[in-house]
Each structure stands twice: as structure tokens, then as C-alpha cells.
Amino acid sequence: MTVELTAELTALAQYVASGLVVGSIYGLIGVGFTTVYNVTGIVNFSQGDFASLGALGAIGLIAAGVPLPVALAIAVLCVGLLGVLIERVAIRPVGNDVLRGIIITIGVGVALQGIAVLVWGTDAQPLRAFSGEKPVNMGGVTVPPQAFWVVGTAAVLMMLLWLFFTRTYVGKAFRACAVNAYAAGLMGIPTRAMRSFSFFVAGLTGAIAGVIVAPIALMQYDSGIFLGIKGFVACIIGGFGNPVGAALGGLLLGLLEALSSGYLSSGYKNAIAFVVLLAFLFVRPSGLLGELEAVKR
């Protein structure tokens, strides 16, 4: 009896562990969505592609002989700057037209995927784990060391972002912009620069999510689509516009996916995200924690 119970618990713990890992990634992507949405009112459908590009870029740099930490840093930074470029070229000219904004970000995502195909082909690319492959055994639950990198980095990054937005002057000015751009402008806050900055942060967080998960989940040119969708679902669960909600929503989604994959069938793993998405859209579109504020335009 006790042996079965332990086996049951171990299996559960295993699912929970993998759920937390995946959930951290979804949370990070969700934070990227939220940052851009709060300031610009636009949902950036190419957010997931920031992750895949970051990973692929790092892989490419490593293949060219660049040491791992440097490659990661360069890839992440470049994707951040790419985000700024996208905002300047594709987003800013359109203003607040929601329909056009959606299609444009879809187009950007497709273009990014296309570039990925041209540079790296359609095959999945491996990135070696940061600190080795030997799985760690924690009371019967086996966890790859990369998992610690994922959860750890995600936690640290979210903490840094939280500190930035709540403790620094510029961070508070950024939030002011997100809440009411008109009033922020009246205080002399440069709203346009803030928009660019939001895309920079989104690119950064997306790319970091990509590079830390790449050793566990092979990345290819279209990995971004599903990552983006899951990140979006994380935001919907937690309440669009609420960064804490996005993080929590991501963890929740990750757990649901891992549990359903373990206890039901892995084929329907992706379907879970959509069922949850639709459930929330129809029953509680403002999410568990509620939207932060009606985004004032």
C-alpha cells in the first residue's frame, strides 16, 4: 500500500515539477504580452517569436564559436532591439486601430518565422544545457538541471522586473504611462519613448524565455506560435494587463498541461490550453485577478 502511494505521489510530484518548469516559461511570455499591452493597448501576436528567435540566435552564435554566456547575452539583447525596431516601423504608424494592429503583429510574426527558416532551416535546433545533462534526483523525482535554470531565471527576472516597476522612478513613470498616457504626457513623461521601451522589455523577456527553455524543448522556426498562444492564455487566466496575473496564469496553465498530459493523453496537451482559453473568454474574460485597469486611450 505504502509503496503504491509513494509511487502515486512521486508521479504527481513529477508532473507538478514539469508543470512548474513549463509554467515559468508561459509566465515570462505572458509578462511580455502584458508589458506591451499596458502601454500601447496592442496585443503583440509575435511575442512568442521573440522567444524562438532568441533561442535560435543563441544557437547560431554558439555554432559560430561564441562562448555560451556571451552568445546568450548578445542574442537576448539583439531581440530586445528588434522589438524596438518593430515598434518604430510597424506599430507606431498605425495608432490605435485594433484590427490593423492585430494583423500587423501577425504579419510581423510570420516574417520573423520566415527569417528563421531562411537562416536556420526548418529543422529543430538543439541548445546544450547550461550546466550539464545529468538529471538530479529529488526524493524520487528526476529533474534535469536545466529545469533549475528555467525556474530560477524566470523567478529572478520577474523579481527584477517587479523591483524595476515598483521601486525605480523610471519604472513608476512607465506604469503611469500605461495607466493614463494623456496625464503622463502632461507631467512631461515621454510617452513615445515609453512605447519603444515596452517593446524592448517584451523582446528581452521573450528572448530570455526562449534561451532558457531551448535545451529542454527543441526550438525551431515555428515554435513561437504555440509559445505565444500559451503566453496569451496565461494572460487571459490571470487577467490581461496584470503582470502578476500573467505569471500566476502561466504557472496554472503549465500545471494543468502537465497534469492532463500525465493522466490523460499527451496528444491533447495543446488542446488543454485552448479549452482553458475558451472557457475564460466566455465565462470570465477579465481573468482571475481582474484586469489591472481599463486601459485608457
Partner 1 sequence: MSEGDCLYASEPLLRVRGVSMRFGGLQALEDVSFEVLRGEILALIGPNGAGKSTLLNIIAGALAPTAGETHLRGERLNGLGADQVNARGLVRTFQGAEILRNMSVRDNVVTAGVARCGSGIATGLLGLGRSRRALAALEKEADRHLGTVGLSALAGASASTLGAGQQRLLAIARALATGAELIVLDEPGAGLNATEKGYLAQVISGLRASGKTVLFVEHDLGLVGRLAERIVVLDHGRVIAAGRPDEVRADPKVIEAYLGNTEIVARHGPGAATRNGGTLLGIEHLSVRYDGSLALDDVSVRVAPGEIVALVGANGAGKSTLLKAVAGAVPPEAGHIALDGRDLGPIATADRVALGLSLAPEGRALFGSLSVLDNLIIGRYGRRRAAGLRELLSPSVAEREAERETLELVYGYFPKLRVRSAQAAGTLSGGEGQMLAIGRALMNRPRLLMLDEPSFGLAPQVSREILEALPKLAAGGVAILLVEQNARAALQIASHGYVLVNGRIAAAGRSRDLLDDPEIARTYLGWDGADTPAGASAAEPRLRVVG
Partner 2 sequence: MKRIAVLVAVLGAVYFSGNGYLMNLCVVTALFTLPALGLSLLMGYTGQISLGHAAFVGLGAYGSAILCKSLGLNPWLAIPLATATATLAAWAIGWLVFRLRGHHLAMATLAFGIIIHVATVELKGLTGGQDGLSGIPALSFFGYAMNSDAAIFPFAWLVCILGIVLAGNLVHSPAGYAMRAVAESEAVAASIGIAPDRLKRRIMALSGLYAGLGGALYAHYLGYISPGPFDVGFSVRLLLMVALGGFAGIWSVLFGVLFVVMTSELLKPFGNYDVVLYGVLLVVVMVWCPRGLLDGLAMLWRGGMRMWRGAQAAR
Chain contacts with partner 2 (rule: CB under 8 A): 43, 45, 89-90, 93-94, 98-100, 102-104, 106-115, 117-118, 122, 225, 229, 232, 236, 267-268, 270-271, 274-275, 277-278, 281-282, 285
99 binds partner 1, rule: CB under 8 A: no
> Which range binds partner 1 by CB under 8 A, 26-34, 82-90, 165-173, 195-203?
165-173
Binding mask 113-152 for partner 1 (x = CB under 8 A): ----------------------------------------
The closest alpha carbon to 28, from 230, 197, 198, belongs to 230
Does residue 189 interact with partner 1 by CB under 8 A?
A: yes
CB of 29 closer than 8 Å to CB of 273: no
What SS3 state is found at 19? helix
In the set 88, 100, 172, 269, which binds partner 1 (CB under 8 A)?
172
Consecutive H or E run containing 273: helix 269-283
Q: How big, in percent rounded to 5, are the helix, strand and coil portions of the chain?
A: 75, 5, 20
CA trace torsion 25, 27, 229, 46 (10° rounding)? -80
Question: Shortest Cβ distance from residue 249 to partner 1 (Å)?
Answer: 18
Give me the amino acid identity at 82: L
List 107, 114, 121, 190, residue binding partner 1 (CB under 8 A):
190
101 versus 215: smaller Cβ distance to partner 2: 101
Binding at 28: pick from partner 2, partner 1, none (beta carbon under 5-8 Å per type): none
62, 68 Cβ separation under 8 angstroms:
yes
